[in-house]
Structure 1
């Protein structure tokens, strides 16, 4: 009994079996396929896919934030540039009229500029409007509808595309006739 206390025990116990362990051929084949196979298991693949999706989403968020910061910096720089230009223009106008530096245009001049801009916008909107061209509007709506009904096979809309192109070509011919 005293001999067991003087022996060093390293925590390992080894059992020796006199009966050989045998595995079925299916188990051996499955284990060898897992070692040879370069593709991960479906569970592992879904985990990898989720990890990749998460990293992509995080990177997209980071890029959007960086884009917003850059756009803000651009906006601020443009505002500063416009203010500097306006101050320079105001200085030139005041020098021409003998007024003190830093004076700006009168409210009547600003209202005139505003009305001019409004009229330009109105002219642009009327030119842009398709209400005067019902054939073009109808072919455009048919094309958009076709694209919406065939989102994955846009080549099925070839007839609508041809009709739209013909409508645009006809509109261009009519426009050039009015210029002559």
Structure 2
């Protein structure tokens, strides 16, 4: 019985019709007919998109720093293991009298190995081996340059770029397993 009144809504019925000024009606109809947002709304949207892009860049930089740190730690561990192994070999060879020749050859081999690892890392970092990612990146950049004031026009390019990055990440994680 009291449930219908407990919802907090009060309905007023007026016998006089409500009328709006013609310029108010015209302004509302123009807003509805216009497919583009107002300049204020567009600037708000642009700011939001810029903030999200900056956030993504920060996250990518953090991820790159983490990968570099992991590589550095792995190389340190590998070098320590090799030094321990060389120390064992050097003590055995020092007794034989040929320790300095062997250790310089081992050091040269280690240096070449490290250089090869650096080269592999640099080639992975390069986009030359990933033409579809490079193409989607170029398309996105050119779209942003051609639509500087309306970056929302580039939503297709952003989606394509995200998909390319996602595919590349999946392939990378498959190689880790």
Q: Considering only CA atoms, is the larger Rg found in Structure 1 or Structure 2?
A: 1
Higher relative contact order (CA 8 A, sep 6+): 2
TM-score by length of 1: 0.43
TM-score by length of 2: 0.43
